[in-house]
Amino acid sequence: MMINRTVLTPEWQLPDREGEMSMEVITSLANFRPGSVAEVVSLQARDLARRRLLELGLVSGTRVVVVRHSPSGDSTAYFIR
């Protein structure tokens, strides 16, 4: 199983880094497909968004598995462990 080491950021805060190579991938959970596994390296969210993500357990070292997307595509289920 491949695990992506990921810096999670809300989709609206993604930096424009075309063509730039990095050891860590900066992305949003919305970019992962069902069955994907990611490990949180850090959060780049601020204020209330950051607090809520931390309350959900998205801290450094946490593995997140994308379980499934809803048929309409607007909701996604995650396993956070």
* 41, part of any domain: yes
* 15, part of any domain: no
- CATH number assigned to the domain comprising residue 68: 2.30.30.90
Higher pLDDT among residues 51 and 11, named by residue: 51
Averaged pLDDT, 51-74: 89
* 17, part of any domain: no
pTM: 0.65
Q: Report whether pLDDT(67) > 70.
A: yes
- Is the Cβ–Cβ distance between 26 and 10 less than 8 Å? no
Residue 70 is part of which domain span?
3-10+24-80
> How many domains does the chain divide into?
1
pLDDT in tens, 22-50: 446 677 888 888 988 888 888 888 899 88
